[in-house]
Structure 1
Amino acid sequence: MNLISMSIWTLENHCFIVYTTLLVTFVVFTLFHKKRMESHQHRINAKVEKLTPIGTGGRERDFPDDSDGDPILTSAIPEDTPHIPYKPLRRSDDEVLQRSREYYELMAKRRTVRMFSPEPIPDEVLDNIIMTAGTAPSGAHTEPWTFVVVQDPKVKEAIRAIVEEEEDLNYRKRMSRQWVADLRPFGTQPPKPYITDAPAILLVFRQTHSWKADNKKRMHYYSEVSVAIAAGILLAAIQYCGLVALTSTPLNCNSKLRDLLARPLNERLELLLPIGRPHQDTTVPDLHRKTLDEIMVKI
């Protein structure tokens, strides 16, 4: 073999070695990266599994098993539950149209207020609006809601103290500057005098799950949506009977208020609503709602 042939042979060998080395390195790196991503995803899934309450409607929990690991085979509602005729009062098109207009005109006057009259509300009125909220549909008829009514002045003071302490931190440290700026037109601040001024405070808790008669966990499917629908019906009932409310979502207060009100760990606070009559000096921002064309699409 002459010198030129040896040089070519050596170069080809070097190229082959380099190519092989690069190929092996690429394969090893790919496998390592895949393994690392799988491990990372496993850790994320584990955290989500730990932090996401069972039955919140999250995709990971759409088809859950019970706490023993065995498939859920029986429903809390008996399979042989009879179906009964449903025959609501039939109304003419003219009646339906008239009632739709009247109800819209009533609900269009609904406003959120922050100044309440201390006039008491009859207990039967509170009972009726909560029973009305309880007519809401829910996933698999689990009815995942608890409505806590507070009228005791001392308990309202304790609730206000907890909310104001957390709200002060929210406004100073937790909420973005844009968020705080967006709230200025509505006059919201850490002090919450309406909590003690209103004759009644209604706290809406969402049950993430419950238990069956055999002490097995009962899943609450789409509990967030179910409670949201119930809250909407509740607000409509409050408006219908001539009262007003403030829809408040007290950030970072869930555990403290749950402990104060002796609620179980499977319940999470979703809304805090002062309810009553508006104070005679109440004012509200001059806001305008979106038009029908802006909120509806017909296909």
Structure 2
Amino acid sequence: MDVSAPFIANYWQYILTVCIGIIIVQFIQSFYKNSSSTNRSSVDDNRKIFVDNDDDEGCVDDNGNQSVPTDDDCEHIPYGMVRYPNDEMLTRSRHFYEEMNKRRSVRFFSDEPVALNVIENVLLTAGTAPSGAHTEPWFFAVVSNPEVKSSIREIVEEEERINYAKRMGQKWLDDLEVIKTTWRKPYIETAPYVIVVFKQVYGLKKDGTRIVHYYNEMSSSICVGFLLAALQNAGLATVTSTPMNSGPRLRQLLGRPVNEKAILLLPVGFPSSDATVPNFHRKPLEELMVTI
């Protein structure tokens, strides 16, 4: 005999209330669990922005530990900076601007050799750039070997051919039309040097412990700015070429470790006698500065 039917008929409203209560409790618990997970994810995202690791491996070991660069023996010393008279400051700043305003992105190079010690001084200058927590997350591979330069060109052009055919939208291609650039990069082989700029997404101690490299992308970009200025000051030309999708193969070709990521490729040398550049004009002061 089934006695459940009369029971449900008599007490259905109470049973329904209990069921609704259970559902509400489960919903609230699920909501707070997801909210907590989202908050933790937000904190992790903020840390990733701060550390600037992109999509590479993070700066933590298998136990979740990370090492911050420290130097207990680093004393602070007095700093004296040369102060120039106002007239001299104005003259020096104007002369430096005029020199830098001559800089252009050059894609046509002479194969005339350049002394290696000039390149070394240029890179020493680049290395004076500031960096997050003084981690100096940059490295430069200076390539002059013709066979290696040929391999670099092959890797880059293989990817660039795909970029121009499939990955880059029509708007991008239209914007590049004025520069008249294509997937072909003959300057990689012609220029006496190719400097491949790597950012170190994290450092490594001798025991293998990873060191956090704060703002490695931003720090490396500032370093490249110093590098471009130093090249111009030395009378050398270059063009900033981004090795899109070529980075991993370039890293392997040049024997660099997994904590380094190729971010720029710079052919360096003298412009060819028939070199041309687009007749671009730069923003006037009123379009790039405001005084408050």
TM over 0.5: yes
Question: Which of 32-41 and 270-279 deviates more?
Answer: 32-41
Please give the alpha-carbon distance, in whole angstroms, between the structure 1 residues aligned to 2:167 and 2:211: 35
Deviation of 1:27 (Å): 4.7
2:271 equivalent to 1:275: no
Runs (4+) of structure 1 moved beyond 2 Å?
A: 23-42, 52-55, 64-72, 212-215
2:252 equivalent to 1:259: yes
Match of 1:211 in 2: 204
2:220 equivalent to 1:224: no
Deviations 1:170-212 (A, max 9, x none): 0111111101111111111011111111110000000011122
Which amino acid in structure 2 is aligned with residue 69 of structure 1? Answer: G
Which amino acid in structure 2 is aligned with residue 271 of structure 1? Answer: L
Q: Judging changes above 3 Å, is the alpha-carbon distance between structure 1 residues 296 and 33 closer, same or farther for their aligned structure 2 residues?
A: farther
Which amino acid in structure 2 is aligned with residue 188 of structure 1? Answer: T
Which of 24, 49, 56 lines up with 2:52 in the alignment? 56
Which amino acid in structure 2 is aligned with residue 180 of structure 1? Answer: L
Which amino acid in structure 1 is aligned with residue 52 of structure 2? Answer: T
Match of 2:10 in 1: none
Which of 71, 78, 82 lines up with 2:75 in the alignment? 82
Match of 2:95 in 1: 102
Match of 1:134 in 2: 127
Q: In the alignment, is the contact (CA less than 8 A) between 1:53 and 1:208 conserved in 2?
A: no
Please give the alpha-carbon distance, in whole angstroms, between the structure 1 residues aligned to 2:258 and 2:120: 25
Indicate the SS of the match to 1:186.
coil
Please give the alpha-carbon distance, in whole angstroms, between the structure 2 residues aligned to 1:179 and 1:31: 48
Match of 1:197 in 2: 190
Deviation of 1:71 (Å): 6.2
Indicate the SS of the match to 1:280.
coil
Which of 225, 233, 245 lines up with 2:238 in the alignment? 245
Deviation of 1:217 (Å): 1.1
Indicate the SS of the match to 1:202.
strand
Indicate the SS of the match to 2:178.
helix
Indicate the SS of the match to 1:195.
helix
Number of residues of Structure 1 aligned to a counterpart in Structure 2: 277
Q: Judging changes above 3 Å, is the alpha-carbon distance between structure 1 residues 181 and 150 closer, same or farther for their aligned structure 2 residues?
A: same
Deviation of 1:88 (Å): 1.9
* 1:4-23 paired onto structure 2 within 5 Å: none
Q: In the alignment, is the contact (CA less than 8 A) between 1:54 and 1:208 conserved in 2?
A: no
Match of 1:153 in 2: 146
Please give the alpha-carbon distance, in whole angstroms, between the structure 2 residues aligned to 1:110 and 1:99: 17
2:64 equivalent to 1:69: yes
Please give the alpha-carbon distance, in whole angstroms, between the structure 1 residues aligned to 2:277 and 2:258: 37
Which of 101, 112, 118 lines up with 1:125 in the alignment? 118
Q: In the alignment, is the contact (CA less than 8 A) between 1:67 and 1:216 conserved in 2?
A: no
Please give the alpha-carbon distance, in whole angstroms, between the structure 2 residues aligned to 1:35 and 1:264: 43
Which amino acid in structure 2 is aligned with residue 194 of structure 1? Answer: Y
Match of 1:186 in 2: 179
Please give the alpha-carbon distance, in whole angstroms, between the structure 2 residues aligned to 1:178 and 1:134: 36
Deviation of 1:214 (Å): 3.9
2:265 equivalent to 1:295: no
Identity %: 45
Deviations 1:129-182 (A, max 9, x none): 011100111111111111000000000000000000100100111111101111
Q: In the alignment, is the contact (CA less than 8 A) between 2:100 and 2:232 conserved in 1?
A: yes
Q: In the alignment, is the contact (CA less than 8 A) between 1:54 and 1:209 conserved in 2?
A: no
Instruction: Flag structure 1 segments of 5+ consecutive residues without an equivalent.
Output: 1-15
Q: Judging changes above 3 Å, is the alpha-carbon distance between structure 1 residues 241 and 68 closer, same or farther for their aligned structure 2 residues?
A: same
Please give the alpha-carbon distance, in whole angstroms, between the structure 1 residues aligned to 2:36 and 2:158: 40
Deviation of 1:79 (Å): 2.5
Match of 1:13 in 2: none
